Chain A
Amino acid sequence: MKYAYYPGCSLECNAAAYDMSVREVADLLGIRLQEIDDWNCCGATEYFSQDELTATAVIARNLALVDPQLKQVVAPCAACYLNLKKTDRLMAEHADFNQKVNEALAAGGLHYRPGTVQVRHMLDVICDDIGEAAVRDKVVKPLNGLRVAPYYGCQVVRPYPGDENPEYPMKMDHLLSWLGAEVVDYPVKAHCCGGHMTQISEPQAFELIRRLLQSAQDYDADLIVCMCPMCQLNLDGYQGRVNGYFNTEFKLPIVYFTQIMGIAFGLDPKKLGFGKELVAALPVVRAKVNGLAAQAAQ
């Protein structure tokens, strides 16, 4: 199966581990990703805060650049996913808006007809298009013994939840169970990580981060897996700062769901971007997953 791929800015650097593991896992599962040539930034929440029409035109350029042979685009970042999807929807539902966006696109020699490209998140592609049997088939190192807390965050499940419950999504839970992990069922799995608030009001952001870490810890998670670069940055990158602020001692590794899939598939942790997280994940994975410690020692 072949898809257009929109990595987004975070995956180029800060979330390189996500990009690496997405590509490795996709390769193994037969998902062919064709990167959109010369894609541009989705504008995150910032462009929409300033200028809706320009924000939409900037995003629509990416949809217009999708190879006409391809009908679907995959975005691993939650903000990119939402922005691409929202743009397609806005253009489809509001004819005058569609006309204005296309007038702007025409200044760059481009055109986009809404509905032409279906916007998908990587998790959906793996769960719905590839499916349980094919995923289980690739598992060579089941994650037995590892307690994993799936963290969905906001923008993949809201406001367009698709076939998921926007407050209690299950796809990542199912996927983790196919990998043999013990899935932690905790109440805040779709709560907010604070988004860009770390840059605006640290007390507000740190409290949202603390609630998530506290809940995962209360439910005995060994590790959290996430599906968005912003969530990973806030929970992992800021974990030390949060500990300092609240005088807590959280030490919870935060990795992308595709990284932990790669471990279950027996792929090389280096190629999956392990080691880029600030709270080291591999020692925990090796200590908890039955049999992995022995293998690592050899």
Chain B
Amino acid sequence: MAAATVAENNTFRNEVMAETPNGHRMLHCLQCGTCGGSCPSGADMELTPRALIALINAGQRDRVLSANTMWACVSCYYCTVRCPQEIPVTDIIYTLKRLSIAERRYKDTDAPALAKTFTDFVDKYGRSFEFGLATGYHLLSRPLSALKMGPMGFSMFTRGRMSLLPTKIRNIGQLQAIIHKAREIGARR
């Protein structure tokens, strides 16, 4: 079978396995479809998690990294706990998100913009900032959504559930030194 021969030097699969904790479990996929069948977002995915794994095994890097599967995933971990082969499906999807973001392969999704805005706040303040996320992120990518969320935002605000200013941790320098170092180590390989 083609899968067996491709597997010999399947660099894409090796890459995904190396980047995912316990990723080697992927080699044991039965293509049973339990993951996709358990997925609350399955209907919104062009490729189910099962199909993604088949395509990774087939070395189809381009198709996998431009799939919308990762951006429809809500990290509910149903696939992971139900997989009969103990394959960390959700974590594989995280790896694919990272590869897709790093190489800008995603299309038609605001998820990477949200992730970027979120982590930028963490890097800068040490805390997330919901109001900034709601406004800044929306203004960047979908200005009309900010208007639509208006009344709800107002209700949250009047109940003291939305702060207009971010909180900053005291020792932000320490956190930034750790982040800087982690990025440096990550870039080493």
Binding site for B on A (CB under 8 A): 9-10, 12-16, 38-41, 43-54, 56-58, 61, 90, 93-94, 97, 100-101, 103-110, 154-155, 158-159, 161, 166-167, 191-192, 194-197, 199-201, 204, 208, 237-238, 240-241, 275-278
Contact = CB atoms under 8 A, between A and B. Distances in A.
Contact of A240 (B74, B152, B178, B183): B152
B27 to A, nearest CB: 18
Main secondary structure of the interface of B (DSSP, over half): helix
B152 A241 contact: yes
Given A49-B101, A49-B115, A52-B98, A104 B81 contact: no
A61 B127 CA distance: 13
Contact of A107 (B127, B152, B178): B178
A163 B75 CA distance: 21
B119 A46 contact: yes
Interface of B: 19, 21, 40-41, 44, 71-72, 74-78, 80-81, 88, 90, 94-95, 97-98, 101, 109-112, 114-116, 118-119, 121-122, 126-130, 133-134, 137, 151-152, 155-156, 159-163, 167, 169-171, 174-175, 177-183, 185-186
B119 A50 contact: yes
Contact of A158 (B78, B159, B170, B181): B78
B119 A103 contact: no
12 contacts: A9-B130, A13-B162, A38-B170, A38-B171, A49-B112, A56-B182, A57-B178, A107-B177, A158-B80, A192-B40, A208-B74, A278-B152
Given A14-B161, A41-B128, A100-B185, A48 B77 contact: no
A263 to B, nearest CB: 19
A267 B159 CA distance: 20
A49 to B, nearest CB: 4
Contacts of B160: 13, 16, 276
Given A40-B169, A57-B178, A237-B156, 13 more contacts: A13-B161, A14-B156, A49-B97, A51-B98, A52-B94, A56-B182, A57-B179, A103-B181, A108-B175, A108-B177, A166-B77, A194-B74, A278-B152
Contacts of A200: 71, 109-111, 114
A53 B180 CA distance: 11
Contacts of A15: 161
A161 B81 contact: yes
A159 B97 CA distance: 19
Contacts of A155: 75, 77
B159 A61 contact: no
A50 B72 CA distance: 16
B80 A108 contact: no
B159 A276 contact: yes
A195 B185 contact: no
Contacts of B128: 9, 41, 44
A196 B127 contact: no
B175 A40 contact: yes
Contacts of A39: 169
Nearest to B68: A201
A93 B22 CA distance: 10
B94 A204 contact: no
Contacts of A275: 159
A109 B160 CA distance: 36
